[in-house]
Structure 1
Amino acid sequence: MTHTQLTQLVQALLDAPQSNPKVKEFAQSWIDAEGTPKQEELTKQLVSVAEQNIALIDETIGFAGSELATQILGAEGAANLLQHAKDIKAQGAEFCDCQACVAAKNIIDLKAEIE
């Protein structure tokens, strides 16, 4: 994996609207540390950050069916998310497929090359 490819993965975490603030802060710190020893240290933490912040599909289904999801997404948005999550689970998905989770999964899949 090239540094450019790794940068693209981290940028995807930062750009994903669904990434939580801690992930966005981590990703921005990684990008800001370009070419420094600090970036090397942050790279060692990257897979762990991704693993801690990816949602299993059952977690997504649980959230989508909750009152909190209705408050955040509205009734229709929550219902749509719930149906989508159930549909992709039926197709074999293990994880949520939002941009943030896809970015995290891409990092996790390359764990051996990153660490």
Structure 2
Amino acid sequence: MTHTRLTQLVQALLDAPTVQALLDAPTSNETVKEFAQSWINAEGTPKQEELTKQLVSVAEQNIALIDETIGFAGSELATQILGAESAANLLQHAKDIKAEGAKFCDCDACVAAKNIIDLKAEIE
């Protein structure tokens, strides 16, 4: 599947963030950002198909389960990185969305990853 087709499919089916969102999201790690940039840069090249096959795996490896988010938000590391108030806000938010049935973090990077994972059958 070409990048153009995948982008069209995502926009048509989900009207939701995809690979560009992985690149743009402040919460994406550097490995994900590098992969996303490579995927975008590969448009129209032979490398395109190879990277597209890896896309779902990258998304699956980098989406945070809601319990992982809760664990991080309640940690000393989160307090050090985010500050006490932001960590507490993240923790409460994560608990709230879990209570509503969320299985995954709802940051921009995780939402984009989830949208890609939801297209697994069409991508592979």
TM-score by length of structure 2 reads 0.81
Deviations 1:62-97 (Å, cap 9, x if unpaired)? 000001100111000000000000000000000000
Deviations 1:12-63 (Å, cap 9, x if unpaired)? 999999x100000000001111111101100000000000000000000000
Relative to structure 1, the CA distance from residue 107 to residue 89 in structure 2 (aligned partners, 3 Å threshold; closer, same or farther) is same
After TM superposition, which residue ranges in structure 1, 4 or more long, deviate above 2 angstroms?
A: 1-17
Aligned length: 114
Deviates more, 1:4-13 or 1:39-48: 4-13
Relative to structure 1, the CA distance from residue 15 to residue 33 in structure 2 (aligned partners, 3 Å threshold; closer, same or farther) is farther
Greater percentage in helix: 1
Give me the whole-angstrom Cα distance separating, in 2, the residues matched to 1:65 and 1:12: 38
Q: Kindly state the Cα deviation for residue 10 of structure 1 after the two structures are TM-superposed.
A: 9.9
TM-score by length of structure 1 reads 0.87
Deviates more, 1:89-98 or 1:33-42: 33-42
Gapped runs of 5+ residues in structure 2? 18-27
Relative to structure 1, the CA distance from residue 9 to residue 59 in structure 2 (aligned partners, 3 Å threshold; closer, same or farther) is farther
Give me the whole-angstrom Cα distance separating, in 1, the residues matched to 2:37 and 2:101: 33
Relative to structure 1, the CA distance from residue 29 to residue 16 in structure 2 (aligned partners, 3 Å threshold; closer, same or farther) is farther
